[in-house]
Amino acid sequence: MAKLLFHRSGKTFYVKDPSKDYHCQFGVVPVKELQKASGRITTNTGKELAVIDSSFIDDYRRIKRGPQIIPLKDIGPIIAETGIDDKSRCLDAGTGSGALTFFLANITKEVISYDIREDFQEVAKKNADMLGMKNVHFQKKDIYEGITENDLDLITLDLPEPWKVITHAAAALKPGGFLVSYSPSVPQVADFVNGLDGSPFVHLKTIELIEREWDVAGRKVRPRSQQIGHSGFLSFARKVWRKV
Ligand code: SAH
């Protein structure tokens, strides 16, 4: 298991392999110190650091990225609005780097992850190994062609043409299951939401989340100058009718 080291200055170090001495700007942290479960440790130059075990989020922040990943601010509402839990089965398409897939897998029973690009899925598979994820099933598949699984609780889409998935998602989801589409541009939102007309889905809402981080240093308290720009819109739909 990886470790995290903290210095009072706010500097943080991620120690991927704690079976070896770790070298940083505060000196060398010997293996014996790294093996402590948590607490204060001292480097060979007498500097004090705190050590803790890394957790999912620490490892997650180190995944390798192929295509653009969904930021954390947009992952939060997918989990909250759908109420998925350790009994849920989900399908995520496309896999990309696996960012959303891994967050879903961290709290649900099983995630099936489709992508048409083998090269992206290879990156995601390595990331899944790094995270020790056992409940992710990667499949090289074009979701516009259909969905093999059924009885799903959630389907998430991060694809150029999400409206092409509505009919397949209607067949693959449980009654009450959720379909969530994440798209960067307005025409995609319009075509997806309009495409729900006459389908077994009800459109719950479409949102854009704007996160504004603040700097807090003494009484210098103000919005950070450099902020994350636009990411995407989230549209939530729920399967409520069997057929129309
Ligand atoms: N949500 C991912 C990023 C997805 S990027 C993350 O958080 O990491 C979009 C992905 O969709 C790309 O990898 C692309 O190859 C895949 N894709 C595009 N069209 C697809 C389709 N029809 N079926 C399956 N995957 C598709």
Asked if residue 36 has pLDDT above 90, the reply is: no
Q: Rounded to the nearest whole angstrom, what is the distance from the C-alpha of residue 93 to the centroid of ligand 1?
A: 6
For residue 72, give the CATH number of its domain.
Answer: 3.40.50.150
Does the CB atom of residue 143 touch ligand 1 within 6 A? yes
Q: Is the CB of residue 67 below 6 angstroms from any atom belonging to ligand 1?
A: yes
User: How confident is the model over 172-201, as a mean pLDDT?
Assistant: 97
* pLDDT over 70, % of the chain: 99
The closest residue, in CA terms, to atom 21 on ligand 1 is 142
Same domain, 43 and 74: no
Query: Is residue 70 in contact with ligand 1, taking CB distance under 6 Å?
Result: yes
| 83 shares a domain with 50 | no
Cα of 164 vs centre of ligand 1, distance in Å, is: 14
Ligand 1 atom 24: residue of nearest CA: 115
* Burial call 11-36: b when 16+ CB within 10 Å, e when fewer: eebebeebeeebeeebeebeeebbee
Same domain, 72 and 44: no
127 and 19 in a common domain: no
CATH code, domain with 25: 3.10.330.20
Do residues 179 and 75 share a domain?
A: yes
Segment 104-108 mean pLDDT: 98
Q: Give Cα separations from 86 to 51, 89, 101, 153, 176 (angstroms).
A: 30, 9, 14, 11, 17
Count Cβ atoms below 10 Å from residue 235 Cβ, excluding itself.
23
Q: What is the mean pLDDT of the chain?
A: 95
DSSP assignments along 68-92, one per residue = PPPPHHHHHHHHHHHT--TT-EEEE
Query: Do 116 and 204 belong together in one domain?
Result: yes
| Residue 91 bridge partners (DSSP) | 112, 155
**Does 244 map to a domain?**
no
Determine the Cα–Cα distance for residues 200 and 213; give it in Å rounded to an integer. Answer: 39
pLDDT average, residue stretch 178-189:
98
**In this structure, which residue's CA is closest to atom 13 in ligand 1?**
96
Q: Is residue 135 part of a domain?
A: yes
* This prediction's pTM: 0.95
**Is there a single domain that holds both residue 107 and residue 197?**
yes
Side-chain half-sphere CA neighbours of 90 within 13 A? 34
CB of 159 sitting under 6 A from ligand 1: yes
Q: In terms of residue numbers, what domain contains 29?
A: 3-54
**pLDDT, tens digit, 9 for 90 and up, residues 193-222:** 999 999 999 999 999 999 999 999 999 999
Sort residue 132 into left (φ over 0), alpha (ψ -120 to 50) or beta: left
Q: Are residues 214 and 131 in the same domain?
A: yes
**Is the CB of 97 inside a 6 Å radius of any atom of ligand 1?**
yes
* C-beta separation of 204 from 236 below 8 A: yes
Of 64, 188, 49, 210, residue with least CA distance to 126: 64
**Residue 164 CA, closest ligand 1 atom number:** 22
C-alpha 209 to ligand 1 mean position (Å): 21
pLDDT digits over 44-86, tens only?
999 999 999 999 999 999 999 988 899 999 999 999 999 999 9
